[in-house]
Chains A and B, each alone.
Chain A
Amino acid sequence: MKISVRDAGETKIVEVEGDVDLGTSPDLRRTLFENLLHAPKLALNLAAIRYIDSSGIATLIEVLKDSQRRNKEFVLFGLSPAVQQVFRLTHVIRIFQVFQTEEEALGSA
C-alpha cells in the first residue's frame, strides 16, 4: 500500500494505492488521524485501491467519527469497484459523504 498527502487550499487530500487490509490499515489510520489534526477538511481518494477489507472500512468509520467530534470534514471520492462492493456488503456507505471526483469533493463544504 502506498499513501501520499497533498494540499488543495485548506483541504488535505490523501491518496491511497494498493491493498488495505489487516496488515496495512494501521498505516492508513495513522496517516488519516495525523492529517485530520492539521486541516479543517480531509478528502480521501479511493480510486487506486485494489482491495479493502473490514479493517479498512472500520478505519474510515473511526476517522469520520473523530472528524465529527472535532467539527471537521472527512469526505471520500473516486470509489473503485472493489471499494464500492465492500461498502455495499457492510451497509455503511450512507454515513459517509461520497463524491465521484476530486473537484466535487473539494467543493462540498
Chain B
Amino acid sequence: MTGGLHLKVVMPSDARYLPVVRGAIGPLAAAMGWDEADSRAITLALDEALANIIRHAYHGRADGLIELECREGADGLEISLLDTGDPPDRTKICARAIACDQPGGLGTHIIKDVMDTVSYQATPAGNRFVATKRLRKTI
C-alpha cells in the first residue's frame, strides 16, 4: 500500500491550461472520496486561485510559472500554489461585500467558502497559497 494521492504540476501562467488542470483535479478529489458536487467545488476553488495568480500576480502574462501541488493527508486535501509574480494585495482579498451586484472579487469568496482553511504567504521562493479541505467521512 502506498501513501496518499499526490499530484505535482508546473504550468505556465496561461489560461489555456486551466481546463487541463480542472480535468485532473476533479477526478483526483473524487478518488480521495468527495462526491460529485464537492469535487466540482474543489475544482472551482483551485481554478479561481490559479486565475487570480494569472490575472493579479502575472497581470495576464503567459510566460510566468505556477507550481501546483495537491496532497492527500490523513483527514483531507491540501492544495499548494507557488508563483513568482507580484504578491497579492491582502486588502483586496474578500474585500467585496457578499451578495452585492458588483462583478469583481467573487473568486476569493468562492475559495473561502469551499475550502476549510486558506492562507497566503510570502516566501523566499515566491508567493505561496495554501488551502485545505477536510474529508468528512460518513459511517
Interface residues of A (CB under 8 A from B): 19, 21-23, 51, 53-55, 57-59, 61-62, 64-65, 81-82, 85-86, 89-92, 94-95
Contact = CB atoms under 8 A, between A and B. Distances in A.
A18 to B, nearest CB: 9
Interface residues on B, range: 20 to 34
B75 to A, nearest CB: 23
B98 A91 contact: yes
A89 B47 CA distance: 14
Contacts of B134: none
A21 B109 contact: no
Contacts of A51: 19, 22, 44
B101 A65 contact: yes
Contacts of A57: 103, 106
Contacts of B104: 58
Given A54-B106, A89-B113, A21 B18 contact: yes
Contacts of B106: 54, 57-58, 90, 92
Interface of B: 15-16, 18-19, 22, 37, 40-41, 44, 47-48, 51, 54-55, 98-99, 101-104, 106-107, 109-110, 113-114
Given A23-B15, A54-B106, A89 B99 contact: no
Given A21-B15, A21-B51, A90-B109, A62 B103 contact: yes
Contacts of B47: 21, 53
A54 B92 CA distance: 16
A41 to B, nearest CB: 20
Given A21-B15, A21-B19, A95-B101, A55 B37 contact: no
A45 to B, nearest CB: 20
A16 to B, nearest CB: 15
A65 B103 CA distance: 10
Given A19-B22, A51-B44, A90-B106, 12 more contacts: A21-B19, A22-B18, A22-B51, A22-B54, A51-B19, A55-B107, A58-B106, A65-B101, A85-B41, A91-B109, A92-B99, A95-B101
